[in-house]
């Protein structure tokens, strides 16, 4: 039996998260949105996520009187009409109505039209993880419906993705033993000074450290964890080197910051590893785009760029432009975007960097805030700074 093509009618008005849940679950070929005269605050974000689903067409039905029952019924009846020349045989299509965010009168009108035509009419309670299918029952795995994994989200948009590899296949497992060290790097006042000479160094490269770090507890912790070996302890000179490729990659390339953000999300039980990962790549056609962090929370995607480097705010590095471009292939304005650095909120370029971030609706998280990362991630996932839906 050939599976029917899906058509989704959204009667829009309030929050759109439930509508996006329906959208991503169904992956419809056609979406029609009934809009009242007041419009819909979340129209653009919903369109962004719908258009990122390959083959999905969107049509708007604007200026429907939200207080006129007959007008609402007529709008819903007209919305269900398909042109055989454009859409093919009508019996190849299956309609689903989503009235979750609908104005009350129009929602009732849509329900009446659904009853007359034997169409499943959905109401989704995203806060309590409840899904009601009126008129026509559709079997639903609510666990998967409300908690789309990264895999689910990527498949809905026909994107492929993978985890970055390390020097060895066991790299990601090895660094999990360094969670305490990652937390120390996020919290220590010595981190910026210590990391500067270690940046991008290879294993066993001899590195000179500032004398001011001789008594650093952070340096001692790294030595105790056997990532660095140190020689000399005079007030004028101290040298060290990474003891392994894993150590050089974890600290020298900034992987520790990506890992730390991921660890705080998972350790705080905001997400598990199927809903949050660090060091990822997605493929936009044949183009590979790196994402330092990907977090799914109730079908809402958060992506983060993590930079443990000097001068991350310089415009020529184009970190914000690149993050915006990555988000655009995954849902545009529906995606929550974070720029995370261990550097402080200072410097000639910082304010202009923040101004550009605000234009892109990117949240900037700096070194002073790293110890509160778990709380920040939870807040941005549940009540984002820049409203998505």
pLDDT of 202 higher than 80: yes
In tens, the pLDDT along 80-97 reads 999 888 888 888 999 999
Confidence bin at 355 (pLDDT 50/70/90): very high
Query: Is the pTM higher than 0.95?
Result: no
Q: Do domains 5-146 and 162-166+254-382 have the same CATH topology?
A: no
Q: CB-based burial of residue 215 (10 Å sphere; 0-12 exposed, 13-18 middle, 19+ buried)?
A: exposed
Give me the percent of the chain exceeding a pLDDT of 90.
70
We find that the CATH architecture of domain 5-146 is: 3-Layer(aba) Sandwich (3.40)
Whole-Å CA distances, 102 to 39, 112, 127, 142, 248: 12, 14, 17, 21, 54
| Average pLDDT, integer, range 369-374 | 98
Confidence bin at 60 (pLDDT 50/70/90): very high
Look at 231 and 321; give whichever has higher pLDDT: 321
Instruction: Give the residue extent of every domain in the chain.
Output: 5-146, 162-166+254-382, 193-252
Q: Is the dihedral of CA 100, 105, 109, 115 positive or negative?
A: positive
Give me the percent of the chain exceeding a pLDDT of 70.
98
Confidence bin at 283 (pLDDT 50/70/90): confident
Distance CA 32, CA 178 (A): 50
pLDDT of 143 higher than 90: no
In tens, the pLDDT along 289-338 reads 999 999 998 878 999 999 999 999 999 999 999 999 999 888 888 899 99
In tens, the pLDDT along 232-269 reads 765 667 899 999 999 999 999 999 999 999 999 999 99
Report the pLDDT value the prediction gives residue 14, as an integer from 0 to 100: 82
Cβ count within 10 A of residue 346:
12
Average pLDDT, the chain: 92
Whole-Å CA distances, 227 to 111, 198, 238, 242: 63, 12, 16, 6
We find that the CATH architecture of domain 162-166+254-382 is: 3-Layer(aba) Sandwich (3.40)
């Amino acid at each position: 039996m050939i599976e029917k093509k899906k058509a989704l009618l959204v009667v829009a008005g309030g929050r759109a998260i439930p509508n996006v849940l329906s959208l991503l679950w169904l992956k419809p070929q056609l979406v029609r949105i009934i809009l009242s005269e007041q419009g819909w605050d979340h129209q653009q974000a919903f369109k962004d996520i719908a258009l990122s689903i390959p083959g999905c067409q969107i049509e708007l039905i604007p200026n429907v009187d939200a207080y006129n029952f007959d007008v609402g019924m007529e709008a819903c009846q007209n919305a269900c009409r398909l042109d055989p020349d454009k859409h093919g045989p009508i019996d190849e299509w299956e309609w689903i109505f989503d009235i979750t965010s609908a104005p009350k009168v129009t929602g009732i009108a849509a329900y009446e039209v659904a009853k007359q035509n034997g169409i499943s009419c959905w109401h989704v309670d995203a806060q309590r993880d409840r899904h009601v299918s009126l008129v026509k029952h559709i079997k639903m795995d609510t666990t998967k419906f409300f908690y789309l994994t990264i895999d689910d989200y990527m498949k809905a948009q026909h994107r492929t993705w993978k985890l970055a590899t390390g020097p060895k296949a066991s790299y990601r497992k090895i660094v999990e033993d360094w969670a305490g060290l990652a937390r120390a790097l996020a919290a220590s006042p010595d981190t910026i000074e210590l990391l500067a000479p270690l940046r991008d160094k290879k294993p066993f490269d001899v590195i000179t450290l500032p004398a001011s770090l001789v008594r650093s507890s952070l340096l001692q912790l790294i030595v105790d964890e056997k990532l660095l070996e140190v020689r000399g302890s005079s007030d004028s000179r101290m040298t060290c080197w990474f003891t392994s490729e894993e150590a050089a990659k974890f600290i020298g390339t900034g992987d520790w910051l990506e890992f730390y953000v991921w660890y705080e999300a998972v350790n705080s039980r905001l997400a598990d590893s199927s809903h949050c990962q660090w060091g990822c790549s997605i493929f936009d056609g044949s183009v590979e785009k790196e994402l330092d962090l990907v977090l799914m929370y109730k079908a809402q995607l958060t992506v983060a760029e993590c930079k443990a480097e000097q001068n991350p705010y310089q415009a020529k590095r184009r970190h914000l432009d690149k993050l915006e471009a990555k988000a655009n292939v995954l849902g545009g304005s529906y995606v929550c975007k974070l720029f995370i650095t261990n550097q402080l909120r200072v410097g000639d370029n910082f304010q202009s960097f923040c101004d550009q971030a605000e234009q892109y609706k990117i949240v900037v998280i700096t070194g002073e805030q790293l110890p509160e990362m778990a709380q920040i991630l939870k807040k941005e996932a549940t009540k984002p700074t820049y409203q998505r839906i």
